[in-house]
């Protein structure tokens, strides 16, 4: 029996609807993005999207509408299209992108310049994020009963092979200088003038203006300056800690080992104290003997007692170690046990970060917070390899986003229809948002407007300082998830005399604590999966800490729009 196939006629003419919006169905993501931008596009915002023209410049051809470019980029990040050339290509052939750009086809250079300007403006990306967050909250998103915070490591627009220690950077600086002077000699230029102004700064001179920060020499200089500033800050902190320790030692209240910077001084002070104590014992014995009192065998001569001998041996040991280290450093063959700091020449702000499974990536540690329906409440990029030092800042960012959501929900408190609408959207969404038994519209609205109920975080944030920090109630894991499940269940409030760490461990063992902590992985890890898999943000497009934070917030903005489109 012969197969029947539909004919393929590529020359057939086709009529498209006259209205571009008819190309896409109602509720499509591009319609959500267009509607959101139209709602946000005030005259003040449009003015911030346009760079100011230089004075005296002649009027040129009409430029592309910045609101249209913003719409395209929002939709592109929602679809996971981050390449400027790919965006230009989509604007030519993808119907949804053609709707977003209004059938205008800016080239990739226009898209690149607009994105670079958008991310470079102070506070603009954060402002856009908060405005979109408000729109999503007005639509019923943002359940704040449980808010999860976590960090995700995203690669920088740089290779880790471009990372070097300070010695490597100075060697590279010498190569840059040699290449610059060779190029000048080839062009019959004056070698004293050179072709790279300020290159001498790379080797320590400071009498000439610095090189262009965007040049390779400028980036090398920025890395060297950053390392020097970090070293000076560490030395100042060590001196302050040493001074405080010596003062405590003199007062007799010092505990623990002394800081390395004052180890010799502390050993010398302990030896002097031991000798002084032995001298006092000897003077007392002599006074009793002169008064005719019965005395025992004379004490040891000052400096020969047990404590003095021990202190003297410790001082000699530290002095020998210091001399050996100085000789090794002078010979150039000393092996420092401390890891040397690295800086990346391509992106000096990025850091080498350890990742799960072993190895390192060159990137940024991005912190974010997610509501109980995966709505992103805020985030930023940082340079810390771990999360413990970011707990307070993350709580502040989450609180700011929660305030935006709560304010939007509170505006609908007097509208029963909106209450029912929010309840339907929050509690009867797809499988990942199952309805909570007994959770009526009023209870749902209370969970939205009452602020953060509890902020849950994994064991990377666990410390007593983070548990006692001001802000929302915290529930921080103190071990791995599998070990939490094996913990003996507990009930009731923690004991009154329990420390912050003990009270947190007790709450983790209660049924309420376990239920709250179980929401962490689906919420914030689901947010990370959306950013990386759906949004394609596995590597930043621009360089620098500020640009990384702006792009991370813009990707979070697109994630929130994706959540909004799912319920539209």
pLDDT at 458 over 80: yes
CA dist 353 and 156 (Å) reads: 11
- Per DSSP bridges, beta strands 474-476 and 454-457 are parallel
DSSP letters for 343-374: EESS-TT-EEEE-TTS-EEEEEEEEEEE-TTS
Interval 273-286: pLDDT, tens: 778 887 888 788 78
**Residue boundaries of the structural domains of the chain:** 20-49+63-121, 126-158+349-567, 166-256, 257-340
pLDDT at 197 over 80: no
Highest average pLDDT, of 115-119, 185-189, 423-427, comes from: 115-119
Q: Decide: helix, strand or coil at residue 436.
A: coil
CA distances from 222 to 191, 288, 309 (A): 24, 70, 50
Q: Work out the average pLDDT over 437-442.
A: 53
Q: Work out the average pLDDT over 205-221.
A: 61
3-class DSSP string for 377-434: EEEEEECCCCCHHHHHHHHHHHHHHHHHHHHHHHCCCCCHHHHHHHHHHHHCCCHHHC
CA dist 182 and 77 (Å) reads: 45
pTM over 0.85: no
Mean pLDDT over all residues of the chain? 81
> In terms of Cα–Cα distance, which of 188, 184, 207, 185 is closest to 196?
184
Q: Work out the average pLDDT over 320-328.
A: 66
Rg for the chain, CA atoms, rounded: 32
Range 290-301 burial, b when 16+ CB lie within 10 A, else e? eeeeeeeeebee
| pLDDT given for residue 58 in this prediction | 55
CA dist 109 and 113 (Å) reads: 6
Q: What percent of the chain has pLDDT over 70?
A: 80
Interval 480-502: pLDDT, tens: 888 887 888 887 888 888 899 99
**Phi and psi of 382, rounded to 5°?**
-140, 175
DSSP letters for 112-147: HHHHHHHHHSTTHHHHHHHHHHHHHHHTT----SEE
């Amino acid at each position: 029996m012969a197969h029947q196939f539909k004919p393929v006629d590529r020359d057939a003419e086709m009529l498209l609807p006259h209205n571009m919006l008819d190309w896409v169905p109602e509720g499509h993501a591009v319609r959500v993005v267009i509607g959101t931008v139209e709602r946000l596009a005030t005259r003040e915002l449009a003015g911030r999207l346009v760079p100011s023209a230089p004075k005296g410049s002649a009027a040129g051809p009409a430029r592309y509408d910045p609101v249209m470019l913003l719409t395209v980029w929002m939709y592109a990040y929602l679809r996971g299209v981050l390449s400027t050339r790919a965006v230009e290509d989509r604007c030519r052939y993808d119907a949804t992108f053609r709707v977003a750009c209004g059938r205008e086809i800016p080239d990739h250079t226009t898209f690149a310049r607009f994105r670079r300007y958008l991310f470079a403006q102070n506070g603009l990306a954060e402002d856009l994020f908060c405005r979109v967050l408000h729109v999503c909250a007005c639509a019923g998103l943002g359940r704040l009963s449980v808010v999860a915070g976590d960090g995700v490591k995203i690669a920088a627009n740089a290779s880790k092979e471009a990372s070097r220690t300070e010695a490597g950077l100075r060697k590279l600086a010498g190569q840059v200088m040699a290449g610059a002077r060779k190029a000048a000699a080839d062009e019959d230029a004056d070698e004293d003038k050179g072709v790279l102004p300020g290159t001498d700064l790379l080797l320590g001179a400071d009498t000439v203006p610095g090189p262009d920060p965007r040049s390779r020499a400028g980036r090398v200089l920025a890395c060297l300056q950053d390392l020097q500033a970090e070293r000076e800050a560490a030395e100042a902190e060590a001196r302050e800690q040493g001074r405080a320790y010596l003062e405590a030692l003199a007062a007799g209240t010092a505990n623990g080992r002394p800081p390395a910077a004052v180890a010799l001084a502390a050993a010398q002070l302990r030896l002097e104290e031991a000798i002084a104590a032995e001298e006092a014992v000897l003077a007392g014995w002599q006074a009793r003997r002169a008064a005719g009192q019965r005395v025992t065998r004379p004490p040891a001569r000052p400096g020969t007692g047990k404590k003095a001998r021990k202190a003297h041996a410790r001082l000699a040991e530290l002095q020998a170690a210091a001399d050996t280290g100085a000789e090794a450093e002078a010979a150039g063959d000393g092996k420092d046990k401390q890891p040397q700091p690295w800086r990346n020449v391509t992106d000096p702000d990025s850091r080498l970060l350890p990742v799960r499974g072993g190895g390192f990536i060159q990137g940024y540690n991005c912190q974010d917070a997610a509501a109980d329906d995966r709505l992103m409440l805020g985030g930023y990029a940082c340079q810390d390899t771990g999360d413990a030092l970011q707990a307070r800042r993350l709580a502040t960012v989450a609180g700011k986003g929660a305030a935006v959501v709560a304010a939007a929900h509170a505006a609908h408190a007097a509208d029963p229809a909106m209450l029912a609408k929010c309840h339907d959207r929050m509690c009867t969404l797809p499988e990942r948002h199952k309805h909570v038994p007994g959770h009526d519209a009023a209870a749902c609205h209370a969970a939205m407007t009452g602020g953060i109920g509890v902020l849950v975080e994994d064991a990377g944030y666990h410390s007593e300082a983070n548990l006692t920090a001001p802000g929302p109630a915290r529930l921080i894991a103190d071990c791995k998830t599998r070990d939490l499940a094996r913990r003996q269940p507990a009930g009731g409030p923690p004991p009154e005399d329990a420390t912050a760490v003990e009270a947190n461990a007790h709450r983790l063992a209660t049924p309420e604590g376990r239920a709250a902590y179980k929401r962490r992985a689906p919420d914030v890890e689901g947010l990370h999966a959306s950013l990386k898999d759906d949004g394609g943000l596995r590597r930043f497009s621009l360089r620098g800490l500020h640009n990384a934070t702006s792009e991370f917030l813009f990707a979070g903005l697109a994630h929130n729009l994706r959540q909004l489109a799912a319920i539209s």
